[in-house]
Structure 1
Amino acid sequence: MSSKYSGGPTETERCIESLLAVFQRYAGRDGNATSLSKKEFLTFMNTELASFTKNQKDPGVLDRMMKKLDMNNDGQLDFGEFLNLIGGLAQACHVQVTSSPTSSGPQRP
């Protein structure tokens, strides 16, 4: 992905490329490269979002998340369903950052 208006990809384009790469890294380990199986989803969550999963006191939370994200009930998460997870997490982080009494918003790198 490369922006036609600049010398290289924009920050947003790089973020999209990163999401695609992460999804592709985990999808297909069980044979279908277009979706995450439950096992692949659990591997993704325990690797990429380990701080979230390690802080969970409820052992069934990941199963319920998978079931809720699997909109077509096929036992797999396609890229769109995966993006619902990422979007929901990003939204929760945004709410946390913007509701902090000492926060003036996200800090620029």
Structure 2
Amino acid sequence: MSKLQQGMDMIIDTFYKYAGTDKDKSTLSKAELKELLTKELGEYFGGLCNDPEALNKILKDLDTNADGKVDFQEFITMLTCITMMCNKKVPKKK
């Protein structure tokens, strides 16, 4: 399996690791989202997750269908945006 395929599997596994802690195993609740952001993306979200207002804003911004949860597509959109922001900071190789 290529590194890219391994990375894709890791993203899928990570989402379902946290989505599986409550009754709905296909979405992230606010608590599950907070745990995922803190444990897996702490460098980017760690401090924000301790601020209830900031966490509510993150959830609202991610929750494009306004169901109060983050589904896999909404999660992938977030990861894509973060990856694009990180890519801008990495010096390009010649």
Give the equivalent residue in structure 1 for 2:31. Answer: 39
Q: Deviations over 1:19-54 (max 9, x none)?
A: 011001100211111010111000111111112233
The 2-side partners of 1:39 and 1:70 are apart by 14
Q: Percent of counterpart pairs with the same letter?
A: 26
Give the superposition deviation at 1:55: 4.6
- The AA in structure 2 aligned to 1:53 is F
Matched residue pairs, number? 91
Name the counterpart of 2:45. 53
Alignment TM-score, normalising by the size of structure 2: 0.87
Segments of 5+ residues of structure 2 without an aligned counterpart are: none
1:64-99: CA deviation from partner (whole Å, max 9, x where unpaired): 1110110110011110000011101101101121xx
Q: TM-score, length-normalised on structure 1?
A: 0.76
- What is aligned with 2:84? 91
Q: Which residue of 1 aligns with 2:92?
A: 104
> Within the alignment, does 1:79 sit opposite 2:72 as a pair?
yes
Question: Secondary structure at the residue paired with 1:73?
Answer: coil
Larger Rg: 1
Higher helix residue share: 2
Which residue is 2:13 aligned to?
A: 21
Where do 5+ consecutive residues of structure 1 fail to align?
1-8, 98-102
